[in-house]
């Protein structure tokens, strides 16, 4: 099959050279082991996972990655059993972040830098690689010119949600760090693919993002803060804009993206998305006003 038949797209932003990356914070390494079953593979793969109080789904996520040569787990301050769970897996390399959290993009870059292999599969602690996707990746003739994207199946209350903009969803997660890496954004970080091609894989990652109402509230706080920090002084905001954008988000999710057909789950997800946007823009407005206040001696 010609290359043009399997390559999906090009993006328009440039990746930083991996060698130029320099961590501004330190880690403490706890080496657990190495997966001997992957040692003879011609193209070994390192999976990377960021964790923080991730004990609920971490065992399932790590079990689905036992075919990888190693799994770099970079913990960002867990107070539950997350680190104990990670230490149960022979191919895990466990690290702990020291110092303040510098944003998702830079922490993902650091996890990539800690890996021993150039091929990186980046997953989250609430994401489970399906056996079919693992087999598909294992059979790939990996090409450093290509970033590989896989479909995501999002679950809430035990249901695969196919509305609210949660489906179809696809993300670039498999790449060679010698040709690209994550961008440094504090929020909505992604693998950079300028001058590279994106190939769509067939089989999914299962995503269990929200297990309870507390997860919604926690992520709303974190994401709205990071959004405000990222855009303060560069993006206009205000209460009216926050209300307008939040209202439009609910209408789009619940009606245009058919959340109304997914019962209570569709209503909850659409309401969460609207509130997240509302608070993101209110916190941005607050951050902008703080930047403009005069300093009095």
Model pLDDT for residues 35-49, shown as the tens digit of each residue: 544 444 579 999 999
Of 209, 237, 266, which residue constitutes the final position of a domain?
209
Asked whether residue 296 is assigned to any structural domain, the reply reads: no
115, 72 Cβ separation under 8 angstroms: yes
Say if residue 120 is in the same domain as residue 14: yes
Say if residue 243 is in the same domain as residue 133: no
Q: Using DSSP, state whether 275 is helix, strand or coil.
A: helix
- Could you tell me which residues come within 8 angstroms of residue 257 by beta carbon, excluding any fewer than 6 positions away? 163, 164, 165
Measured distance CA(251)–CA(243) in Å, rounded: 12
Asked whether residue 294 is assigned to any structural domain, the reply reads: no
Nearest to 46 by CA among 54, 38, 55: 38
Domain range for residue 218?
212-288
249, 220 Cβ separation under 8 angstroms: no
pTM: 0.83
What is the domain count for the chain? 2
Beta strand extents in 134-227 (DSSP E only) = 146-156, 159-160, 169-176, 197-200, 205-210
Say if residue 179 is in the same domain as residue 283: no
User: Please, what is the angle between helix 263-292 and helix 213-231, to 10°?
Assistant: 30
Query: In terms of pLDDT, which residue wins out, 62 or 29?
Result: 62
**How does pLDDT run across 83-108, given as a tens digit for each residue?**
999 999 999 999 999 888 998 999 99
Looking at residue 262, its pLDDT comes to: 95
Residue 16 has pLDDT above 80, yes or no: no
Say if residue 249 is in the same domain as residue 266: yes
Asked whether residue 37 is assigned to any structural domain, the reply reads: yes
Q: What are the beta bridge partners of residue 95?
A: 29, 74
DSSP code at position 180? -
* Apex 163 CA angle, 226 and 227, nearest 5: 10
Say if residue 50 is in the same domain as residue 165: yes
User: Taking residues 164-170, what's their average pLDDT?
Assistant: 95
Q: In a 10 Å sphere around its CB, with 0-12 CB exposed, 13-18 middle and 19+ buried, how is residue 235 labelled? A: middle
How many percent of the chain have pLDDT more than 70?
84
Looking at residue 195, its pLDDT comes to: 87
């Amino acid at each position: 099959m010609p290359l043009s038949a399997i390559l999906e797209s090009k993006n328009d932003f440039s990746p930083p050279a991996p060698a130029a990356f320099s961590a501004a914070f330190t880690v403490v390494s706890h080496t657990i082991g190495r997966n001997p079953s992957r040692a003879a593979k011609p193209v070994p793969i390192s999976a990377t996972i960021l964790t923080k109080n991730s004990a609920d789904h971490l065992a399932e996520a790590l079990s689905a990655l036992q075919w990888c040569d190693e799994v770099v787990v970079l913990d960002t301050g867990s107070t539950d059993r997350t680190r104990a769970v990670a230490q149960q897996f022979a191919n895990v390399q466990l690290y702990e972040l020291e110092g303040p959290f510098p944003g998702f993009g830079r922490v993902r870059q650091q996890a990539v830098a800690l890996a021993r292999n150039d091929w990186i599969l980046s997953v989250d602690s609430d994401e489970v690689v399906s056996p079919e996707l693992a087999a598909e990746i294992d059979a790939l003739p990996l090409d450093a010119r290509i970033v590989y994207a896989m479909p995501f199946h999002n679950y809430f209350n035990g249901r695969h949600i196919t509305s609210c903009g949660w489906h179809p969803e696809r993300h670039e997660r498999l790449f060679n760090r010698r040709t690209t890496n994550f961008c440094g954004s504090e929020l909505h970080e992604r693998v950079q693919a300028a001058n590279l091609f994106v190939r769509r894989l067939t089989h999914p990652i299962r995503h269990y993002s929200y297990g309870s109402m507390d997860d919604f509230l926690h992520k709303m706080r974190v994401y709205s803060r990071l959004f405000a920090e990222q855009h303060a002084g560069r993006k206009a905001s205000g209460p009216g804009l926050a209300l307008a954008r939040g209202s439009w988000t609910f209408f789009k999710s619940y009606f245009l993206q058919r959340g109304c057909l997914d019962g209570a789950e569709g209503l909850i997800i659409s309401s969460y998305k609207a509130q997240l946007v509302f608070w993101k823009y209110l916190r941005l407005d607050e951050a902008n006003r703080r930047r403009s206040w005069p300093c009095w001696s």
